[in-house]
A and B are shown apart, each in its own frame.
Chain A
Amino acid sequence: DQQVKQNSPSLSVQEGRISILNCDYTNSMFDYFLWYKKYPAEGPTFLISISSIKDKNEDGRFTVFLNKSAKHLSLHIVPSQPGDSAVYFCAALSRVVQGAQKLVFGQGTRLTINP
């Protein structure tokens, strides 16, 4: 049972344009969402997060949007740069349910930025 889903295994975007990565979740108890970025032969690294009390969080070129009613979040990268080429993982957890503080990841989306 995949509680966090990234339905696009890959995405290709032109340099300078906007990259939009999507993520859906099924567990309504999730209240904290994160994006991790992974380069080949390295471990994932934290990129940006959002709490369920917000619908948007921005950090430089990266913005995460949360639509709780649709159980959907997205990561926008503007403008996209070649160094953004990586695998992006969406993750979620519930911080309020005792004993359930597990960070659940999606399958990942491979983003390729073309020069």
Chain B
Amino acid sequence: DAGVIQSPRHEVTEMGQEVTLRCKPISGHDYLFWYRQTMMRGLELLIYFNNNVPIDDSGMPEDRFSAKMPNASFSTLKIQPSEPRDSAVYFCASSFRGPGNTIYFGEGSWLTVV
């Protein structure tokens, strides 16, 4: 069975450009999470959805970040405009019936903003 699928795996973009990261959760999972990994802060939760509805976006750093989940099999994380400090690995993850159950992560999207 396919795991969480993220694209692109690597993205290098110039400051000011729009970046869109994509995620396909595991089929049947009803929770989807977006995390960001940095050296200083480890894995930070940006936002999570339950049944396609955003539940908590308090981790989204600024208005430049937005996330959508138009259906149960697809989510996007958009950064507009991007800045060098946004450079990080962005992980999408999904679980069945909440974070108290095992969360499965994708392989991550490595973003570099120059």
Contacts and interface: CB of A to CB of B under 8 A. Distances in A.
Contacts of A102: 45, 48, 56, 99
Interface stretch (B12-20, B73-81, B104-112): B104-112
**From B48, B99, B108, residue with most partner A Cβ within 10 Å:** B99
Contacts of B56: 99, 102
Contact of B103 (A2, A99, A103): A103
A6 interface: yes
Contacts of B99: 93, 101-103
A99 B55 contact: yes
Interface residues of B, number: 25
In this complex, the interface size class of chain A, counting residues with CB under 8 Å from chain B, is 20 to 34
B61 interface: no
Interface string B85-111: 000000101000011101111111000
Given A93-B99, A102-B99, A43 B105 contact: yes
B102 A46 contact: yes
Contacts of A2: 41
A102 B41 CA distance: 16
B107 A43 contact: yes
Given A43-B106, A102-B48, A108 B42 contact: yes
Given A43-B4, A44-B91, A102-B48, A89 B43 contact: yes
Given A43-B91, A103-B99, A105-B42, 15 more contacts: A2-B41, A42-B107, A42-B108, A43-B107, A44-B91, A45-B105, A99-B56, A101-B99, A101-B100, A102-B56, A102-B99, A103-B33, A105-B35, A106-B42, A108-B42
